[in-house]
Amino acid sequence: MKDHIELSGTGSASAVPDVVRIHAGVRCEGDTVSAALADAGQRAGAIAQAARDHGVEDRDLRTMGTGVHPRQDREGTRVVGYTAYHSLVVTVRETSRVSSLVDAFAGAAGDALTIDHIGLDIGEPEPVLARAREAAFADAKHKAEQYAALSGRRLGKVRRLRDVASGGAQPRYELMSASKAAGVELGENTVTASVAVRWEWN
């Protein structure tokens, strides 16, 4: 189009993660549905209480799912029992407590405990995302100014601005983290934003 130019830009910003999210759960077997569910519920409750005993607040305990499915014999011809599961996410704001929390969960749930993931995160990502957006806009503007200079034209007012991400116009977060069961190395998390900007083309 002769009246505008539209270019995309990408920017990133990094911050040291300040929370750890533990995806913990239990898997319990029982002869009946109710027995399996009751055992899973009791052990999951014990995990939650262990978290509270280690300073985790209720707002940082979130149930992700619960359910039950039948177990069949080797031939797959008859039901021999049921397996229930209960999963939750525990947000740990004092990262030094991760190792002791995992130990406490093992003591509370026994052999039924599952730890599906221990991940690092930024508790308040908006300030970091704001810096990434600023960098993305600056990247797009730098490209536009370069093309304007090459073509002997000038940029006018911004006419359109939108976040860009694969699958929809939403910010894209890229969280790169590393974690260990016995301890957590914080490193940095990087948040990336992409924007598309349309300027008047004078």
Domains of the chain with CATH codes: 4-16+124-201 (3.30.110.170), 19-121 (3.30.70.2970)
pLDDT value at residue 100: 93
Q: What percent of the chain has pLDDT over 70?
A: 88
Q: What is the pLDDT of residue 181?
A: 40
| pLDDT at residue number 185 | 61
> What is the distance between the alpha carbons of residues 41 and 145, in angstroms, rounded to a whole number?
61
Average pLDDT for residues 82-91, to the nearest whole number? Answer: 96
Which tops the pLDDT comparison, 189 or 200? 200
HEC per residue, the chain? CCCEEEEEEEEEEEECCCEEEEEEEEEEEECCHHHHHHHHHHHHHHHHHHHHHCCCCHHHEEEEEEEEEEEECCCCCCEEEEEEEEEEEEEECCHHHHHHHHHHHHHHHHHHEEEEEEEEECCCCHHHHHHHHHHHHHHHHHHHHHHHHHHCCCEEEEEEEEECECCECCCCCCCCCCCCCCCCCCCCEEEEEEEEEEEEEC
Please state the rounded mean pLDDT for residues 164-175.
Answer: 45
Average model confidence (pLDDT) for the chain? Answer: 87
Q: Is residue 13 a contact partner of residue 128, using CB atoms and an 8 Å limit?
A: yes
Of all residues in the chain, what percent carry a pLDDT higher than 90? Answer: 68
pLDDT value at 71 more than 60: yes
